[in-house]
Amino acid sequence: MEKERDLVLIVDDNPTNIDLLISTLTKDYRLGVAINGPKALEYVAKQKPDIILLDIMMPGMSGFEVCSRLKSDPETSDIPIIFITAVDDVSRKIKGFELGAVDYITKPFLAEEVRERVRTHLDLKSMREQLTDRNVDLEQMVSEKTVELEKLLDATISTITLMAETRDPYTTGHMNRVANLACAIAKHMGLSKERIRAVELAGILHDIGKIRIPTSVMNRPGRLLETERELLKIHPEIGYKLLERIPFTIPVADIVLQHHERMDGSGYPAGLKGEEILLEARILAVADATEAQSSYRPYRPALGIDVALEDISKNSGILYDPKVVEACLTLFGQGLFSFDEDNRVRDPGHIQ
């Protein structure tokens, strides 16, 4: 479909000027005419022109005032305005530009100049509109792709956890509960949305490295031998290696790697201390310890949440970050969080 011709509004109180402009532009454009400021505003309210040729000196409302009003209204602020002014009226021309006009046409008119200026500014307007449309399209595409990527990431994580669950359902239950508590702590501590998401993902995956530990070790009742305990200690590094290639925008693999580091440097694998450990990993450590201690173990019944909280409280500042411990105690103390009772007794994991 052929594009409708652009609409030019001529605003001038002088009939001779109006006639001249009409005869100059009528071949190429649709034209509207207003003989004073209020009529111009009335016209624009009904039908939005593509460009306005606006006389400055008019009785009653001046062209400047009309321009100011149009520019202050978001509905009309993007209409290009070309002022009509006398040749030597420099100060008025400057004021016109300050008010947002794009150009001026000097009287007496030169038909060719009027046509060229109008055409140039209509072309510029059309290019601006195309750019805006393109930007809107691009923003839409980016947000659609982001949603797609998030879905893909969720599906990848589900697949990984499903694989782990097939082999060892207990660890998966533990990881989900740890993720829930770690998220609640992160939220309570006021972490950003992105960091809470990192804590959540790292929580869901934190013990994924256990898929390299023989099931005979993982699920055997009774206390583990020293050699078996040492073997289990490789799981954060295995987890890191499994996750490092997934292009997360957040440091999920590093958080997993550090979830057994302890504040006093007694943890593993690197023996990091205090703030050398990522805050997300310090949060995960407290959630992990709380969940593991309150749960059933093959060699003992579930100790219960009170015993678990007493332990993290006793080790606050030694093994665990005091601020994280405080947040965890508050969540349980004020009844803001609890583990799913049904799940808790099913977890026989030997190690947090």
> What is the distance between the alpha carbons of residues 54 and 67, in angstroms, rounded to a whole number?
8
> What is the distance between the alpha carbons of residues 26 and 32, in angstroms, rounded to a whole number?
10
Buried b (16+ CB within 10 A) or exposed e, 40-69: bbebbeeeebbbbbbbbebeeebbbebbee
By CB atoms closer than 10 A (0-12, 13-18, 19+), residue 183 is buried
Between 12 and 207, whose beta carbon lies closer to Fe ion?
Answer: 207
Between 105 and 213, whose beta carbon lies closer to Fe ion?
Answer: 213
Minimum separation from the CB atom of position 142 to Fe ion (A): 36
Between 64 and 170, whose beta carbon lies closer to Fe ion?
Answer: 170
Minimum separation from the CB atom of position 287 to Fe ion (A): 9
Between 18 and 238, whose beta carbon lies closer to Fe ion?
Answer: 238
Minimum separation from the CB atom of position 236 to Fe ion (A): 6
Instruction: Give SS3 for 276.
Output: helix
Minimum separation from the CB atom of position 133 to Fe ion (A): 51
User: Tokens in use for 208?
Assistant: 């994924």
Minimum separation from the CB atom of position 297 to Fe ion (A): 13
Between 9 and 242, whose beta carbon lies closer to Fe ion?
Answer: 242
User: Tokens in use for 256?
Assistant: 């997993």
- Edge-to-edge strand order for the sheet containing 51-55? 30-34, 7-11, 51-55, 81-86, 103-107
Minimum separation from the CB atom of position 206 to Fe ion (A): 5
Contact set with Fe ion (CB under 5 A): 207, 288, 352
- The Cα angle at residue 157 between residues 338 and 195, in degrees rounded to 5: 60
Between 290 and 352, whose beta carbon lies closer to Fe ion?
Answer: 352
